[in-house]
Structure 1
Amino acid sequence: MSEQTAQEGTSRGGAGQERRVVVVGAGMAGVQTAVALREQGFTGTVTLIGAEPHQPYDRPPLSKAVLLGTSEGSAFDVDFDSLDIELRLGCEALGVRPADHELDTESGPVPYDVLVLATGAEPVRLPGTEGVPGVHLLRTLDDAERLRPVLARQHDIVVVGAGWIGAEFATAAREAGCAVTVVEAADRPLAGALPAEVAAPMTAWYADSGTDLRTHARVERVEPGGVVLDDGSRLPADAVVVGIGARPATGWLAGSGIELGAHGEVVADDHLRTSAGDVYAVGDCASFPSARYGTRLLVHHWDNALQGPRTVAANILGEHAAVYDPVPYFWSEQFGRFVQYAGHHAAADRMIWRGDPTGPAWSVCWLRDNRLVALLAVGRPRDLAQGRRLIESAHPLNPQSLSNPTLPLKSAVTTT
């Protein structure tokens, strides 16, 4: 029997309902996988293992509500006891032995019949700064708690990286009254996420908020009270916050035989199964093939961690082979603007603006063969909602109608 056939066989039917499912990672993807299993009727044992000691919590509030002290935390509103989900918190996963169906942890081996990898991503550290006092990351509840008093004291702060997390943290720090300088190695914010002409208007948002944005700038070193850039200039800094990206948290899988991709992510198929029998992967730690976009996607956003678990649960129960091919979606609140994105624009052959990008509300549409493949909406939530449905339906659109911001996006649908 092939590995794939064996995997499908052990994931289906009858006595399989009494199997042991172990989920590694107690963030959104892990929690939602455990909940989805119960919601879809799984009656076997479900164990959720998390490295952090805290009750499982949501991460988006960390970059604002927790930082600014308007929330003490963001624990999931899930009654794990009533769902008969066993929590093992403060328990770090150390490795997997697929042939033995065992997960190795700090507390010893944990046997499983089905294993779900949901360990998320971890922030990339600025080289040479590990252990340097005053240098912070923002990924966990403990990170946010360490940064909260920094903002409360209205310190001078240098943020390294003008990506999504850097902009969100800078927004919170300015709201707290801190002097903020953002250092970005590229020539614009969000250089790795958006085309230059789309990201360019966002540069003004920094100045409008009183944030000093330094582009074409790299950190040479961090020293007490300051950051020295590669051009020799020195920026005052009581604290440095690093937001230069994240990578899948999969280092602990070394030697397991589970296939990893070029970015260190777990390589999953369109059912979110890995190369190892009875092992699935979901959320930030996994990539999956998209028939919609004709490429493999690695999506580090909240909605992916929310949607994927339903597919994993359905495939574990084995009642039908559920395929995972979502329209990626995320949002960001920064500098008084609500920014939303749906889709994947890399393969687009045309880009259309809706509205004035120097104004408070505008959108950008990406088309391929006159069909919408992605959309960025700034202050236009209706565009996003309609656009997401249009991406899913793949209806042909009239570009001229699409470019008129006074017309609903859905009015651009054409039958020709």
Structure 2
Amino acid sequence: MSEQTQETAPSDARRVVVAGAGMAGVQTAVALREQGFTGPVTLIGAEPHQPYDRPPLSKAVLLGKAEDSAFDVDFEDLDIELRLGCEVLGLRPADRVLDTEAGPVPYDVLVIATGAEPVRLPGAEGVPGVHLLRTLDDAARLRPLLAEKHDVVVVGAGWIGAEFATAAREAGCVVTVVEAAGLPLAQALPAEVAAPMARWYADAGVELRTHTRVRSVEPGAVLLDDGTRLPAGAVVVGIGARPATGWLTGSGIELGEQGEVVADHRLRTSAPSVYAVGDCASFPSLRYGGRLLVHHWDNALQGPRTVAANILGEAAGGEPAVYDPVPYFWSEQFGRFVQYAGHHADADRTVWRGDPADQAWTVCWLRDGRLVALLAVGRPRDLAQGRRLIEAGTPLDPDLAADPARPLKSAAR
């Protein structure tokens, strides 16, 4: 902490415990210090590694361009106690106790930031050669397989599947992607938007098999439902993720339909002095008129600032900080930089900027004449301008917005 922060920060005897040492947990602890909290802060992580960022796992770490992606945070200097290799097991809100492998941990304020866990392929658990890509250890196990240029089968053509296929092709592997839906990213994007992206696989030398399910996995091979047997030195499963909240069973914390912690507009849970942030929590969005569950890096970066502000505000009696972001994420796949901002589910008009057969294009979603979401492929300026337009709720002229030669902001009415 800086000398100025130490001199001006109010004293606070409350003990804040953060369960989860990923992006959301780390940023919560850091934000508390940045906003002037001087009480004890304990950060608990299930993995033994120094807390690290996840996006590089499917890129630089996987390809051996970096050994790890540890956060550049001096926890000792910030007086943040780290307890690593310590899994959380349960919660007793009435006693204000978090149960862990190492024993009970009392708290005055608890922040749940345990993130999400990958969905596993039924019947494939314990089969040699089947991998997930969620942790640093996962990337470490996969890296030598790519270096040896094994044949790779990727199950799932979502964001992680596409990113891993990109890295595997860069490493020189023969890659086949198996997808149960008819298009990649079928759960995330409308068919008309996902369809042009399907061509990227063939252009990169990746075989994409859609409308195809895995019947079984055996050492060295994947058997498909049509009887095809694919050789596989490695099988990587990327069929989604779900909130890592099983440990909250029986705690009384309200969970949603997808198992996520149900938080309010201040990211408070149903239990007193317990907050939830990041991939494990949903929150109500006034901007979009519904509850959002966002499994992306930016949400885990932004939400902690709201949590920290509200923890400090509890004692100071300040105005509540409301969390209502414009969701944002990005993906690097097949030589393209793909960015998305907003939430398009309730859009009533789609506007294209550019030809999706080209290397760079953008699709905009409008509702009642206002931009609510956009997907930009190789057009970062569109994304930056569009995000600001969404935040401001600015009406757009759809005809002007459709001209890719014009700055998107010039379409504002």
Taking the TM superposition and a 5 Å limit, the aligned residue runs for 1:397-408 are 397-408=396-407
Residues 316-325 or 85-94, more deviating = 316-325
Show structure 1 runs of 5+ residues with no match: 1-13
| CA deviation after TM superposition for structure 1 residue 343, in Å | 0.1
3-state SS in 1 of match to 2:311: helix
Aligned partners of 1:310 and 1:90: how far apart in 2?
Answer: 26
In structure 2, which of residues 105, 109, 115 is the aligned counterpart of residue 114 of structure 1? 109
| CA deviation after TM superposition for structure 1 residue 15, in Å | 9.1
Q: Which residue of 1 aligns with 2:20?
A: 25
Aligned partners of 1:16 and 1:28: how far apart in 2?
Answer: 26
Q: Which residue of 2 aligns with 1:317?
A: 312
Aligned partners of 1:67 and 1:43: how far apart in 2?
Answer: 38
Aligned partners of 1:110 and 1:225: how far apart in 2?
Answer: 45
Q: Say yes or no: does 1:225 pair with 2:224.
A: no
Q: Which residue of 1 aligns with 2:267?
A: 272
| CA deviation after TM superposition for structure 1 residue 46, in Å | 0.1
Q: Which residue of 2 aligns with 1:59?
A: 54
Structure 1 residues 239-290: Cα deviation after superposition (integer angstroms, max 9, x where no partner):
1000000000000000000000000000000000000001000000000000
Q: Which residue of 2 aligns with 1:161?
A: 156
| CA deviation after TM superposition for structure 1 residue 320, in Å | 2.5
Q: Which residue of 1 aligns with 2:3?
A: none
TM-score, normalised to structure 1, is 0.96
Structure 1 residues 151-181: Cα deviation after superposition (integer angstroms, max 9, x where no partner):
0000000000000000000000000000000
| CA deviation after TM superposition for structure 1 residue 225, in Å | 1.6
CA-based RMSD of the aligned residues comes to: 0.9
Aligned partners of 2:52 and 2:165: how far apart in 1?
Answer: 23
Structure 1 residues 356-393: Cα deviation after superposition (integer angstroms, max 9, x where no partner):
00000000000001100000000000000000000000
In structure 2, which of residues 146, 165, 175 is the aligned counterpart of residue 151 of structure 1? 146
Taking the TM superposition and a 5 Å limit, the aligned residue runs for 1:127-146 are 127-146=122-141
| CA deviation after TM superposition for structure 1 residue 224, in Å | 2.1
Aligned partners of 2:232 and 2:128: how far apart in 1?
Answer: 12
Q: Which residue of 1 aligns with 2:187?
A: 192
Q: Which residue of 2 aligns with 1:99?
A: 94
Q: Which residue of 2 aligns with 1:326?
A: 325
Q: Which residue of 2 aligns with 1:86?
A: 81
Aligned partners of 1:395 and 1:230: how far apart in 2?
Answer: 49
Structure 1 residues 38-91: Cα deviation after superposition (integer angstroms, max 9, x where no partner):
000001000000000000000000001011000000000000001000000000
Aligned partners of 1:351 and 1:337: how far apart in 2?
Answer: 22
Show structure 2 runs of 5+ residues with no match: 1-8
TM-score, normalised to structure 2, is 0.96
3-state SS in 2 of match to 1:17: coil
Q: Say yes or no: does 1:411 pair with 2:410.
A: yes
Aligned partners of 1:214 and 1:190: how far apart in 2?
Answer: 13
Equivalent residue letter for 1:350:
R
Structure 1 residues 7-32: Cα deviation after superposition (integer angstroms, max 9, x where no partner):
xxxxxxx9982100000000000000
Aligned partners of 1:82 and 1:389: how far apart in 2?
Answer: 35
Q: Which residue of 1 aligns with 2:368?
A: 369
Runs of 4+ in 1 over 6 A off after TM superposition: none
In structure 2, which of residues 207, 210, 213 is the aligned counterpart of residue 215 of structure 1? 210
Aligned partners of 1:223 and 1:95: how far apart in 2?
Answer: 36
Aligned partners of 1:238 and 1:81: how far apart in 2?
Answer: 43
Q: Which residue of 2 aligns with 1:387?
A: 386
Question: Are the equivalent residues in 2 in contact too, given 1:314–1:320 (CA < 8 A)?
Answer: no
Structure 1 residues 169-225: Cα deviation after superposition (integer angstroms, max 9, x where no partner):
000000000000000000000000000000000011000000000000000000122
Aligned partners of 1:403 and 1:15: how far apart in 2?
Answer: 52
- Structure 1 pair 109/15, CA: closer, same or farther in 2 (3 Å)? farther
Question: Are the equivalent residues in 1 in contact too, given 2:127–2:219 (CA < 8 A)?
Answer: no
3-state SS in 1 of match to 2:90: strand
Aligned partners of 2:79 and 2:218: how far apart in 1?
Answer: 50
Q: Say yes or no: does 1:243 pair with 2:238.
A: yes
Aligned partners of 1:51 and 1:326: how far apart in 2?
Answer: 28
3-state SS in 1 of match to 2:374: strand
Equivalent residue letter for 2:388:
R
Among the aligned pairs, what percent are the same residue?
82
3-state SS in 2 of match to 1:52: coil
Equivalent residue letter for 1:296:
R
- Structure 1 pair 290/16, CA: closer, same or farther in 2 (3 Å)? farther
Q: Say yes or no: does 1:286 pair with 2:281.
A: yes
Question: Are the equivalent residues in 2 in contact too, given 1:290–1:325 (CA < 8 A)?
Answer: yes
Q: Which residue of 1 aligns with 2:165?
A: 170
| CA deviation after TM superposition for structure 1 residue 352, in Å | 0.5
Question: Are the equivalent residues in 2 in contact too, given 1:270–1:324 (CA < 8 A)?
Answer: yes
Aligned partners of 1:246 and 1:320: how far apart in 2?
Answer: 35
